Amino acid sequence: MIRKFFPYGRNNLKRTYRHYILVLATMLFIQATYSQEPKKLAELLGYPKDSKLLIIHADDMGLSHSVNAACIKAFDSGGITCGSIMVPCPWALEMTNYVKDHPSLDVGVHLTLTSEWNLYKWGGVSSSDQISSLLDAQGYFYQSVEEVGKHAIAGEAKKELKAQIDRVIAFGIKPTHLDTHMGSVLASPELIKIYLGLADEYNLPILFPRAYTSWFPPEVAKALNSKIFLLDNLFMLEPAMITGNWIEPYKKALTEMKPGLNEIIVHLSYDNDEMKAISQGHDDYGSVWRQKDLDMVVSREFSGLIKANNIILIGWRQISDLMTKQNSN
């Protein structure tokens, strides 16, 4: 889930970047790391240059059994092409075991620094005394991205995020990509730098919308564009978009989709006792919402819209494989 993708807002982040030293440090980091030519992804994947490529991504795997079961149903029916696991959550092992038994599934790490529900909680996978800046007084992750941004010490966040990736690998899975739960790794320039660094260290594609490069100085944006397969468009349903008919905003997104790399994020679960209990007092992205997203992605209407709009479904795995191939050349 990325409920507040940039919790501080663009303007705040821009202001932060005006701080000269930080800008310089970030620029130097990115320029040193990202120096290749821009990629033409569709062609590199063997599709026509102007293809509308679409990743349909299920967030929050591992959060609950209800989420896992719904994601497995969506994988089976072709309603999603990939998803990512919240490693610190109690049901992560169920999902990683399933992925181990179904190695063709396209699954990444949903880098997690928040525990946002009121009564169902988790902390980090690292030793808690080594990540105390990430934990509240009760030993759980903070509820909001704002609190993460305020309290997180960069070194501790990096340690925890690496531990999450390493744990998935230790479970016997090769993650296909990295993305971010509630956008928490985008909560500060330091965290963004860590996120980019992890992509480089593990040689994995990451969720990073092209629009966000506008927050950076032009040279940094250019460097990013030349190294990362940026998302040309990211669509995630937000409360304000909801109309009577659940599929309408998705229909609009699919109908208006442009050539390039697109991603639709969905939040799946069953509207059952477990998910109702998890999301009590929290309708947005709660159990009813997730059941509706599930019903939609497995519907004929949704798959019909994809076909009717000449959209090519891909997963992060294809991009990850491409990166591996490029690196070995």
- Single out the catalytic residue among 59, 106, 179, 271: 59
Minimum Å distance from CB 7 to a copy of itself?
24
Give CA–CA dist 252/254, Å, rounded: 5
Closest by CA to 112, choosing from 140, 132, 137, 93, is 140
Who contacts 142 (Cβ-Cβ below 8 Å, separation ≥6)? 113, 114, 115, 134, 135, 136, 148, 151
Residue 313 bridge partners (DSSP):
54
| Smaller CB separation from a copy of itself, 66 or 262 | 66
| Smaller CB separation from a copy of itself, 26 or 96 | 96
The verdict on whether 267 is a catalytic residue reads yes
Minimum Å distance from CB 46 to a copy of itself?
38
Minimum Å distance from CB 277 to a copy of itself?
4
Q: Cα 122 vs. chain centroid, distance in angstroms?
A: 19
- Binding stretches for a copy of itself (CB under 8 A): 64-66, 69, 89-94, 97, 119-122, 125-130, 137-140, 167, 170-171, 270, 272-274, 277-278
| Smaller CB separation from a copy of itself, 213 or 287 | 287
Minimum Å distance from CB 130 to a copy of itself?
7
The torsion angle over the Cα atoms of residues 139, 186, 30 and 178, rounded to 10 degrees, is 80
- Single out the catalytic residue among 57, 110, 181, 267: 267
Give CA–CA dist 154/150, Å, rounded: 11
| Smaller CB separation from a copy of itself, 137 or 240 | 137
Cβ-contact 249, 243 below 8 angstroms: yes
The verdict on whether 232 is a catalytic residue reads no
Closest by CA to 25, choosing from 197, 208, 180, is 197
Q: Cα 205 vs. chain centroid, distance in angstroms?
A: 11
| Smaller CB separation from a copy of itself, 160 or 232 | 160
Q: 3-class SS at 182? A: helix
Minimum Å distance from CB 127 to a copy of itself?
4
Catalytically annotated residues: 59, 267
